[in-house]
Chains A and B, each alone.
Chain A
Amino acid sequence: MLESQLQNLAASARERILAAPGPEQLEAVRVEVLGRKGALAEISKGMGKLAAEDRARIGKLLNTAKNDLEAALEERQKRFAGEALRARLDAEWIDVTLPAPGPRPGTLHPLTQIQQELEDLFTSMGVAVLDGPEVESEYNNFDALNIPPDHPARDMQDTFWLGDGLCLRTHTSPVQVRGMAKLGPPLRMIAPGRVFRNEEVDASHEHTFYQLEGMMVDRNVSIAHMLYFMKTLLSHIFGREVTVRLRPGYFPFVEPGFELDIQCLICGGPGCAVCKQSGWVELLPCGLVHPNVLRQGGIDPEEWGGFAFGLGLTRLVMMRYGIDDIRHLQDGDLRFLRQF
């Protein structure tokens, strides 16, 4: 009797489990059948009255029914949980095409970028990076560089005068003298920075621009060494082998002085509009350091020699990015700056 009651109960419970439309109904079945006061518990309570042999048999049946129902219940629960999770995840849809909040990275000024790049390059070649003031004494800017007062070479650099023997430096070359005094021979140094010339501003002229001075002092420094150094440097800057040539140029702080040209990177030599059909582009002034300048730096020119050069950073930036108007570099216009 008890046996058939158990079988009926198990069958109907299984049916209800399988038919439960949701977790609540499932829970109701569990409480009703498998709960502490559920139908199975009731049956198990009545077992005490049974004969020992029946008790063992019914007990076994009871256990089997309980395990079966629990397994069915668990499986059904898992299914509901899975469905619920799927529903939640589906509801969590977001529009991934919306923009990310927060600021975007800013930019470093193209002049900063090229300057840092060159500083790294020179540092890797064992060259010290030095600083010099933007306001210089007339003496450091000119006299110490072998350009005495009333020297016609002073016309080559229109100067902003500040009174009291001061001026805005017209080139980074005064750092040569500072560098020699600071480092002593032998030395290798560069000094990038802002320089000033009293010139009207237009698309290709600026009163404020940027140079990188370079200098090496050692025993037996030759033109051949300078050529090697410049060629290596420029090949790195332009990212390919460059052909350079020297021709005479006059700068009082070097002797001999040179203009260094590179073979036109646009046409490779035959001539084009960029190189004005000459095949060469004037790039930088350089030369062997004049003995008077070495003396100003406290270095004996009979024992030491050197070369020096001045690289126009502003010009390099314009060449690299194809900037056609120099004024963009210092007008603070974000429409220009954010491109870098």
Chain B
Amino acid sequence: MKFSYNWIQELVDGLEASPADLMRLITIKTAECEGVEAAGAHFAQVVAARVLEAEPVPGSHNRKAVVDAGALGRRTVVCGAPNCRPGIITAYVPPGVSLEGRETGRRVVAGVESDGMLAGGAELGINRDHEGILEFDAEPGAPLPRILPDHVIEVDNKSLTHRPDLWGHHGMAREVAAITGKRLIEPANLGRIPREPAAVQVSIEDLQLCPRYSALVFENVTVQPSPLWLQYRLEAVGLNPINNIVDVTNYVMAELAQPMHAFDADKLAGDTIFVRNAREGERITALNDETYHLSPAALVIADANGPIAIAGVIGGLDSAIGDSTARLVLESANFHAANIRRASSRLKLRTDASMRFEKSQDPVNTVRGLARAVELLELVSPGIRLVGGLADLAAPARTPAPITLPMDWLIRKLGRPIGSAEVRSILESLMFGVTETGPGVFSVSVPTWRATKDISIKDDLVEEIGRMVGYATITPTAPVVPTEPPPDNPRRRFHRAARQTASAQGYHEVYNYSFLSEEDARRFGLAPADHVTVANPISVDQALLRRTLIPGIWKNIRENGRHFDQFRLFEVGMEIHKRESGLPDEIPHLIAAIYERTKETGPLYEVKRLAECLMPGCELRPDTARMFEHPSRTANVLWRGHTVGRLFEFHPDFVEGRAVVLDVDLAQMEALAPVGKRYQPVRRFPESAFDLSVLAARRALAGDLQKQLASFAGRFLESISYLRQYEGAPLPEDAKSVSFRLTVAAPDRTLSSEEVGAIRDAIIEGMRGLGYEMRV
């Protein structure tokens, strides 16, 4: 929202703060300002000038004009505007003045030196007219009438969300007056509305959706451009000047936050304005030339024939003010905020009116807006006359109960002492009604423009008093809290340890998005329908929520593969799994990968080492490969009897070079992780070790052999470990010899060589019983 400094100054008697100071004050006390910019600085130098001569310059469309610029004397300028003709008063811009960021100079146009220039509305920032130079009435040499250099303060709309009153200059002026202790000027004079029967009837179907509808009828209307000062005002705050009637409605909106609409009265059927829901199949062509099909949920303004406006959003084209308009109906209404918001989002149409109504405007404001409009219309449309009095239909006024504000409670919330007198004076400066109902207890009534949504409980008053007294006056104070350790979060601790392990092993942590494309899902053999889907994705390739971290790490591998021959990556993130109803399952996973460009044996065992560091004693079991996995290098990861994840090499169709991935479920791992440790006495008697080799098929699993050996070793087996394996002569073609070292010991004595020999023999015998040849 843009605020004109001059406009605020007009409404705050004796305002002295500079624009920059004002911006700081508003930021600290009221709402966030994004900046302040000088607007129309050139109006300090632009003057009115009378065109004395205007001769065509041969061979161009330009004219050589001589103007009388009052004290600046006669000047010769070259002007391309078609309306440049002797007799008119226009705007003369002397050389050296900056317009639209360009400096006006002395330059030669078509062989004629132009000493400054004549300017149009768009060039000067008064309106958006690029057609010609300005024409107005003033003494040559005088400044442009009622047009002064200004400053525009831009306030962040988000910080005005709860303040319907600040969507107009008068609301902001009220804040400024309270902050600076100056007097606020009321621009509307309710006395301007005659007490007569209305010339138009109003019918409201649902007073909840339209709590108030006020209207006036005017005749003898002249539609013409607004005076330049009014156009300039609108332009400065970002509103487009259109014609005097529409400009007045916008002016009142920008001043009082009350949106208004003017209908051409002669284009309305019947003498009643209906406020009702749209009927099935109704449509309307709006002022923006778009045709809208209206749903019955939409509220419309209608005449006897049908909709003439979408309530609170936009007017209809058929009843719009045009050059021929002679009579008008001026609407100033109040609409239900949420309903307007729904309508405007359904229509995908946000207008200056809908933006204000959705903030819950004050129903009291409608008549005030009309009163202000009466005055302005008389100024911009000479001879205009009111027909009859005010049409005004309203729901019974809601007077919210006053808020009880105990001083001790307030002081506790602020954390700063404050006296009753100061509290009263702050609240009164903001126009709250304050009565002391008991010792240290105020009863506070809320002004109507703050009561629609903004302020209803005593906590809301803490803000009013806090910001006005100044948050900087509150001294930071340590809270008194129990000294006790906070509740533990074992999950976070577990994830942290896993991250630590992975990074210590050389893996770099990546963060990938939670989004996935349908194409990626299919690429990894997943049906898009099995995913949680985003209804309004930024783009189609971000329409699904990931239920696996594999596609993300796959992309990382491919992209980094362009820059590095080998690397290690990992991610800890959520898999999101759809459920029948309710929140999806979010399963934390750790995924780690090693990439090597060379096609040698590959980094599978290196990745397995990470698995073993994370889960001491985990095992790999070969498993059927999914389409993206290497068919003979894919395994489930088992830990403590449970499958907790997957370790696989990417299929060469997916990754050039070798990439091995570990993908494990951290929640399951956490549940399986051993808790607590218990000391085992250090063995006092020596242990004995011996090696055994098993001749087995080439694809026999060493892990299986080891388990089988162990199963025959009996209770004295201390440990068994893989030593080496051998293939080749003199072994048969499809055989290998796998060697293990077994260590045996007893807790209470040294095993005799006979005992050790017996254990060894039992193992050999057991293995032979299973059909293995033992090499001993």
A331 to B567, CA, bound (A): 16
Residue pair B583, A330 in contact (C-beta under 8 Å): no
Report how many A-B pairs have Cβ atoms within 8 Å: 242
Q: Tell whether A223 pairs with B415 under 8 Å between CB atoms, given A108-B503, A198-B536, A255-B459.
A: yes
Residues on A with C-beta less than 8 A from B536 are 160-161, 198
> Which of B163, B457, B477, B479 is in CB contact (< 8 Å) with A216?
B479
CB distance from B646 to the nearest CB of A (A): 20
A-contacting residues, B1-56, CB 8 Å: 27-32, 35
Residue pair A249, B32 in contact (C-beta under 8 Å): yes
Residue pair B584, A152 in contact (C-beta under 8 Å): no
CB distance from B531 to the nearest CB of A (A): 10
A-contacting residues, B563-604, CB 8 Å: 563-564, 567-570, 574, 576, 581, 583-584, 586
Residues on B with C-beta less than 8 A from A126 are 481-486
> Which of B341, B534, B545, B583 is in CB contact (< 8 Å) with A150?
B341
User: Which stretch of A55-63, A76-84, A332-340 is in the interface?
Assistant: A332-340
Residue pair B583, A135 in contact (C-beta under 8 Å): yes
Residue pair B338, A149 in contact (C-beta under 8 Å): yes
Residues on B with C-beta less than 8 A from A198 are 536, 538
**Does B251 reach chain A (CB closer than 8 Å)?**
no
**Does A168 reach chain B (CB closer than 8 Å)?**
yes
User: Which stretch of B265-273, B553-561, B704-712 is in the interface?
Assistant: B553-561
> Which of B467, B509, B535, B570 is in CB contact (< 8 Å) with A163?
B535
B-contacting residues, A209-224, CB 8 Å: 216, 218, 220-224
A interface secondary structure, majority? mixed
Contact residues on B (Cβ < 8 Å of other chain), bracket: 35 or more
User: Which stretch of A1-9, A14-22, A67-75, A111-119 is in the interface?
Assistant: A111-119
Q: Tell whether A163 pairs with B533 under 8 Å between CB atoms, given A104-B506, A337-B508.
A: yes
Residues on A with C-beta less than 8 A from B724 are none
**Chain B residue at minimum C-beta to C-beta distance from A158:** B536
**Does B692 reach chain A (CB closer than 8 Å)?**
no
CB distance from B353 to the nearest CB of A (A): 14
Q: Tell whether A231 pairs with B476 under 8 Å between CB atoms, given A112-B509, A126-B484, A337-B509.
A: yes
Residue pair B510, A332 in contact (C-beta under 8 Å): yes
Residue pair A153, B161 in contact (C-beta under 8 Å): yes
Residues on A with C-beta less than 8 A from B457 are 255, 291
Residue pair A224, B474 in contact (C-beta under 8 Å): yes
CB distance from B570 to the nearest CB of A (A): 7
Residues on B with C-beta less than 8 A from A160 are 534-537
**Does B685 reach chain A (CB closer than 8 Å)?**
no
**Chain A residue at minimum C-beta to C-beta distance from B458:** A291
B-contacting residues, A98-144, CB 8 Å: 103-109, 111-112, 116, 119, 122-123, 126-131, 133-137
> Which of A150, A200, A330 is in CB contact (< 8 Å) with B512?
A330
Residue pair B560, A103 in contact (C-beta under 8 Å): no
Residues on B with C-beta less than 8 A from A166 are 532, 583-584
Centre residue among B31, B477, B511, B556 by max chain A CB count within 10 A = B511
**Does B414 reach chain A (CB closer than 8 Å)?**
yes
CB distance from A261 to the nearest CB of B (A): 9
CB distance from B772 to the nearest CB of A (A): 36
Residues on B with C-beta less than 8 A from A186 are 481-482
Residue pair B545, A135 in contact (C-beta under 8 Å): yes
Residue pair A256, B466 in contact (C-beta under 8 Å): yes
Residues on A with C-beta less than 8 A from B160 are 250
Q: Tell whether A137 pairs with B161 under 8 Å between CB atoms, given A128-B486, A162-B535.
A: no
Residue pair B463, A248 in contact (C-beta under 8 Å): yes
Q: Tell whether A131 pairs with B492 under 8 Å between CB atoms, given A103-B505, A250-B158.
A: yes
CB distance from B155 to the nearest CB of A (A): 12
> Which of A109, A119, A252, A291 is in CB contact (< 8 Å) with B511?
A109
> Which of B471, B500, B510, B555 is in CB contact (< 8 Å) with A223?
B471
A103 to B459, CA, bound (A): 58
> Which of B158, B512, B532, B568 is in CB contact (< 8 Å) with A103?
B568
**Does B770 reach chain A (CB closer than 8 Å)?**
no
Q: Tell whether A256 pairs with B534 under 8 Å between CB atoms, given A127-B486, A228-B477, A288-B413.
A: no
**Does B514 reach chain A (CB closer than 8 Å)?**
yes
**Does A259 reach chain B (CB closer than 8 Å)?**
yes
Q: B residues within 8 Å of A by Cβ?
A: 27-32, 35, 158-163, 337-339, 341-342, 358-359, 412-416, 457, 459-460, 462-463, 466-467, 471-472, 474-479, 481-487, 489, 491-492, 496, 499-500, 502-514, 532-538, 542, 545, 552, 555-556, 559-560, 563-564, 567-570, 574, 576, 581, 583-584, 586, 606
Q: A residues within 8 Å of B by Cβ?
A: 103-109, 111-112, 116, 119, 122-123, 126-131, 133-137, 149-153, 155-156, 160-164, 166, 168, 183, 186, 188, 194, 196, 198-201, 207-208, 216, 218, 220-225, 227-229, 231, 245-250, 252, 255-259, 276, 288, 290-291, 305, 329-335, 337-338
* A-B contacts besides A116-B496, A126-B485, A135-B576, 18 pairs, CB < 8 Å: A106-B507, A106-B508, A107-B503, A108-B503, A130-B489, A134-B574, A135-B586, A149-B338, A152-B358, A156-B158, A162-B534, A224-B414, A225-B477, A231-B476, A247-B28, A247-B32, A248-B463, A256-B463
A-B contacts, 19 of them at CB < 8 A, read A111-B511, A126-B481, A129-B486, A134-B576, A160-B537, A162-B533, A166-B583, A166-B584, A194-B514, A218-B479, A223-B413, A224-B414, A225-B479, A227-B474, A228-B477, A247-B29, A250-B162, A291-B459, A338-B508
